[in-house]
Amino acid sequence: MRVLVAGGAGYIGSHTAVQLAEAGHTPIIADNFANSSPEVITRIESLVGKVEFHEVDLTDRRATAELFASCRPDAVIHFAALKAVGESVERPLDYYETNFGTLFSVLGAMKEAGTKILVFSSSATVYGGDHPPFTEEDEELVALSPYGYTKLASERILTDVAAATDLHIGLLRYFNPVGGHPSGTMGEDPRGIPNNLMPYLSQVAVGRREKLTVFGDDYPTPDGTCLRDYLHVMDLADAHVAALERLAKGDISVRTWNFGTGKGTSVLELREAFEKACGRPIPYEIGPRRAGDRADSWADPSRAEEELGWKASRTIDDMCADSWRWQSMNPRGYGQ
Ligand code: UD1
């Protein structure tokens, strides 16, 4: 299939573009480098050969419609959005404009071009229940930040659109994607101080940050630090291919799938695994809790296994080894 990867220069998009090509599909990447770099395209091409790339601001409806008219994709995987929770609280309007703007442009352009398949990046951040594992059937959903609200509302918008059209839509709820391509060619490259744990650990290991601050050790968990379901980005990239191929069968209107391993790992456990992977000490201190963090979150990933034949296969040690390979080979990320 010719697959438009909207936001394909980003962290998950770039890995997905590579896995699409490996699976025999043709990725067509669109990005405006708002939170990424042209170097990503070079890296993708070093792995899978020449790819079609378009520099487009996907909030621009006309430009998006022109893009679809020229490349006529069979399907879209829509990653193009802003994703930092804290920043979304400070700049809500930017988040609403960008995350809804790109979604509306893509849906409008799909209608004009006759593209029927859409895979959408949602997040486990929508789960509001007290006790994991979370299943797709859970009805207690929340929006604790403007970012979270864009995910929850986009799911609703897409559910309404699916009911009224003949589109085939997948809503993919990611848990905590980490790691990078096993070659060390691609990985996560946040701008500024990382908000997320794995890139922070990597930057301490490589000497860009002095020490990790663990946000709270008084949670009701075995070691007092939060539990999360870390998932290798290569497993997640494969999940997009599986969802796409399932939607292409044409019998699904809209379906939600969780992508996680089904296991929780604590902040201290991940720090220890990373220390082992990089062979360097990762100094840390315990700090106060971060506002908005929940004690624990992990997936029930059984629906994805039953319906897509997908199961996470990479371990926490693989995730740490690949994050470290990426960071040590590219200490400044894509800026090198
Ligand atoms: C965060 C977002 C979530 C988003 C996801 C994207 C919040 C509250 N949640 O998930 O909405 O979908 O990123 O990947 O921001 N930690 C530290 N020290 C650090 C960084 C993190 O102790 O310097 C801890 C956090 O308290 C948390 C765990 O590490 O317990 C994981 O944090 P993070 O990687 O930011 O992911 P989430 O908070 O789960």
pLDDT digits (tens, 9 = 90+) for 174-199: 999 999 999 999 999 999 999 999 99
In angstroms, the CA 123 to CA 83 distance is: 10
Mean pLDDT of all residues in 57-67: 98
Residue nearest to atom 2 of ligand 1 (CA): 85
List the structure tokens of 155. Answer: 């799911």
User: Ligand 1 centre from 259 Cα, in Å?
Assistant: 17
Do residues 176 and 127 touch, judged by C-beta distance below 8 A? no
Evaluate: CB of 290 within 6 angstroms of ligand 1.
yes
List the structure tokens of 42. Answer: 């070079």
Residue nearest to atom 1 of ligand 1 (CA): 196
pLDDT tens digits, one per residue of 63-122: 999 999 999 999 999 999 999 999 999 999 999 999 999 999 999 999 999 999 999 999
In angstroms, the CA 13 to CA 10 distance is: 5
